[in-house]
Amino acid sequence: MKVFMPLYSIGAWGRFYGKYPFGSFYGDGPRLYGYCIYQRRHTAHGIITVKEQYYKSSNPTHPNCVIGQNSFRSGVRLWQDLPAEGKAIYNSYSYPRQMSGYNRFLHYYLKGLPV
C-alpha cells in the first residue's frame, strides 16, 4: 500500500512504505529509511496508534524458527484432536483473562506447562 502523507491523524495500521509526493525523501530510490509500521495498541485510556521503525522479519528457515513452527503446529494438531469435553474445560478457565479456549490451550502448551 502506498502512503502519501503521515498517518498520525487517522487510525491506520500495518506496514506502510513508498514515496511521499512532496519533498525528496527518497531521492535515490526506495530504502528502509523512512518506511514505518503503524500499530493499534490497547491502553487503559482506549486505543492509540503508534508509529514504529520499519524492520524486516527474521529468516523463517532458520533452525530456531523451524523448531518454533513445528511446536506450534503440533499444538494446533493436539487442539484439533481434543474431544469436545476437553475443549469445554479450556473454554471455562478464567485465567489468563480475555483468551479463547484455543488460545489458552496454546498458551499453556507453548510454555511447556501441563496441558
- Give pLDDT tens digits for 50-79: 777 777 777 888 898 999 999 999 999 999
Does residue 83 lie within any of the structural domains? yes
Q: Which residue has the higher pLDDT, 60 or 13?
A: 60
Write out the residue range of the structural domain in which residue 24 sits.
Answer: 14-53
Number of domains in the chain: 2
Say yes or no: 97 and 77 in one domain. Answer: yes
Count CB neighbours of 90 within 10 A.
Answer: 20
Interatomic CA distance for residues 92 and 89, integer angstroms = 5
Q: Which residue has the higher pLDDT, 63 or 17?
A: 63
The reported pLDDT for the residue numbered 13 is 61
